[in-house]
Structure 1
Amino acid sequence: MRVLFGRVKSFAAAAALVAAAAAVPAAAPATAAAAATGTAPQVYGAWHCSDDACTWATVRDMADFDRNNHWLIDRGDGRPSVNLAVLSFVNPLTLLNGTTNSANTNGVPVGMNQAVVNYFTSHGVRVMLSIGGITYTDDWNTALAQNATLLGQKAAALASQLGVGIEIDYEQSASPNTAGLQAFIDAYRAAHPYDASGADPTARLTIDVAAGDRWLIDLDQYATAHWLTPGTPVLDYANAMVPSRQPSATDAESNWQEHLTGKANYSPAIPPLAPAKFTGSLYIAEGSKARPECTDFSSSVQNATGSWTQNAAPAGAGTTNGLLGYMFWAAERPSTRGVTTDPPNSCEGGVGAGASAYSVPVPMPALRQS
């Protein structure tokens, strides 16, 4: 609960402050209800919180793991519902210190092990580990100040160990340590250079930004200007995170458009972000109820935003239309008291149906670069 509650609480506070590769069967054609001319999603993933509210503090029994998560690898016809699973979260300070205790081994949650990674990759689903989350913001600050380069090296070694990519979830809203984060990224890229082909899973390095441009402003500005430019990319892409509650389709599109347009009136200005360099995010489980994103694609926000998402035009950066795709928060148990995506709330009818409607490629292809 503390991880998800912290994230939601922070967005609510921010709003007030701102005024607010195994073979898998071929994909089926898009359904008429969701078909839209434009660029189909390439990234279609879920953050995953295990069964303990995002701590991954116990080794999972894989039979139980499959019962709770089978929908991710089988939308009902043998094809995965997603092409990416992001295991959330690794504590950056614990990773830097190489902590070993009941919940971690050498700084890594014991539940984030090879068996879980292989569960997904054996079905063509890419895996990444998310470092951070709102709960670990102070630990990000401490770790970056203590030894950002070593933290980047340890993240790179972890990626090599498990054959995964890394997501940066650093939710410091005021004066983030961008110099330290730059050193972290430089150290990671020294071990795993940028790979436009996407063939090397360890080379996938991404970052989370806010739903729009009005929170995490300094981080958003720096990342857009220095790490997400199509001509000289450093990070593969950014995820525009979920807001404090599930948005309407209009509000979701408005948030995402802020990234496309940037904020020229800010000082320093936030430059436009290429559509091919970020995903939009929606809830599948929120509070006490599963969203239509989980259970009923036809009435979901992702269905309502599908045409916009696939056709969103560059507004100063990039050359191709369409966001990179969708991310969903979050699989299994994102909070201790909220709804889970375990059966009977598994998400074949929402995320899985969307994967069919949008002809989501599994495995994930080489991503558009501009």
Structure 2
Amino acid sequence: MTAAGLLALVGSAAGAPTSATAATPLQIYGAWHCGNDACTWATVRNMTDFDTNNHWLIDRGDGRPSVNLVVLSFVNPLRLLNGTNDSGDANGVPVGMNQAVVNYFTSHGIRVMLSIGGITYTSDWNTALAQNPTLLGQKAAALASQLGVGIEIDYEESSSPNLTGLQAFIDAYRAAHPYDATGADPTARLTIDVAAGDRWLIGLDQYATANWLTTAKPVLDYANAMVPSKQPSASTAESNWQEHIDGKSNYSPAIPPLAPAKFTGSLYIAEGSQVRPECTDFANSVQNSTGSWVQNAAPNGAGTTSGLLGYMFWAAEKPSTRGVTTTPPNTCEGGVGAGATAYSVPIPMPALRQG
């Protein structure tokens, strides 16, 4: 047996993709964006300053964008429900998440979404879902229409998520913006965040996988497997993502397998005091080390096509009040931008695989 054949056999035995498998091109290559105030977006941005700090997103160095998706993070769900007007919000929406910022990206072929929630606003999600989840869904849909964006659900309730309320939220959103397999309508893009693997946010993960992320009757477009508490090694990242593909049959209720075409994997570009190779050094990055796995990960009970949808990166500009930012001199052309070139990321984002 040749060395290549032996490697393929070992890879198959381990449940890993083999080198003989044709790689599936990445379709999603995006960044969460926290603005310049640790994800509150509480001030209207000067767009010249905004461009200085974020130009790498629209130009990897050769005039092409580094990403095909930006997710502005975060909208507080309770403020959105209540239509709060204060120094940082207008009708419940952070004043920095305005049309000028959206157009900055969409004018370069980059899709834009708004993320509702984040771990800071978990209790506000709980309150809003208890009060009036249908109205919250309607307001989210109206916001999507107003700005021409999609919506991401980031509900990080680990103990007892209000799944009945979240179902009502999704039903109300979908009544206004039905599922669109073509991806042509940006407002129809509705996604959800789950944990890096299947062992956290278990109730949400189980329900979403079983009811909203199936290939036979999709309700949500896809899920993002979020970053863990710190940047994982390549093997840990792959192990986490494999859990979604395999599901957890030993749980009660069981978490069913998730089709690779129904989720992305996530990595840090800035973490604490460190700028990660994801930002500055693609050759030595986890996304480079996991690229073959991500493009070849095979279905294991759900879906028919191999390969995750792509990568998401946490997070552009200033994700926390302390620590590094992705602003000059720590811009990410050499990491995310180089990865976009290496993976031939399509811009604009194409219609997503459905199975």
Higher RCO (C-alpha under 8 Å, 6+ residues apart): 1
Q: Deviations over 1:296-351 (max 9, x none)?
A: 00000000000000000000000000000000000000011110000110000000
**Pair 1:237-2:222 in alignment:** yes
Distance in 1 between residues matched to 2:167 and 2:341, nearest whole Å: 38
Distance in 1 between residues matched to 2:24 and 2:53, nearest whole Å: 32
Distance in 1 between residues matched to 2:158 and 2:23, nearest whole Å: 34
Q: Deviations over 1:22-74 (max 9, x none)?
A: xxxxxxxxxxxxxx941111010000000000000000000000000000000
Partner of 2:67 in structure 1? Answer: 82
Distance in 2 between residues matched to 1:40 and 1:197, nearest whole Å: 17
Partner of 1:342 in structure 2? Answer: 327
- Which of the residues 165, 175, 181 maps onto 1:180? 165
Query: How far 1:151 sits from its partner (Å)?
Result: 0.1
**Pair 1:204-2:189 in alignment:** yes
Distance in 1 between residues matched to 2:296 and 2:329, nearest whole Å: 34
**Pair 1:106-2:91 in alignment:** yes
Identity %: 85
Q: Deviations over 1:92-146 (max 9, x none)?
A: 0000000001100000000000000000000000000000000000000000000
Q: Please, which runs of 5 or more residues in structure 1 have no aligned partner?
A: 1-35
- Which of the residues 124, 127, 133 maps onto 1:142? 127
Aligned partners of 1:46 and 1:327 also within 8 Å? yes
Partner of 1:282 in structure 2? Answer: 267
Q: Please, which runs of 5 or more residues in structure 2 have no aligned partner?
A: 1-20
Aligned partners of 1:37 and 1:307 also within 8 Å? no
Query: How far 1:170 sits from its partner (Å)?
Result: 0.1
Distance in 2 between residues matched to 1:337 and 1:196, nearest whole Å: 40
AA at the equivalent of 2:267: L
Query: How far 1:289 sits from its partner (Å)?
Result: 1.1
Partner of 1:189 in structure 2? Answer: 174
Distance in 2 between residues matched to 1:38 and 1:270, nearest whole Å: 27
AA at the equivalent of 1:265: N
Partner of 2:341 in structure 1? Answer: 356
* Counterpart secondary structure, 1:50: coil
* Counterpart secondary structure, 1:70: helix
AA at the equivalent of 2:147: L
Partner of 1:97 in structure 2? Answer: 82
The ranges of structure 1 where at least 4 consecutive aligned residues each deviate by more than 4 angstroms after the TM superposition are none
Q: Deviations over 1:200-251 (max 9, x none)?
A: 0000000000000000000000000000000100000000000000000000
* Counterpart secondary structure, 2:325: coil
How many residues end up aligned between the 2 structures?
335
Partner of 1:251 in structure 2? Answer: 236
AA at the equivalent of 2:238: E
Distance in 1 between residues matched to 2:76 and 2:93, nearest whole Å: 8
**Pair 1:55-2:40 in alignment:** yes
Distance in 2 between residues matched to 1:37 and 1:242, nearest whole Å: 27
TM-score by length of 2: 0.94
* Counterpart secondary structure, 2:132: helix
Distance in 1 between residues matched to 2:349 and 2:170, nearest whole Å: 23
Distance in 2 between residues matched to 1:259 and 1:41, nearest whole Å: 18
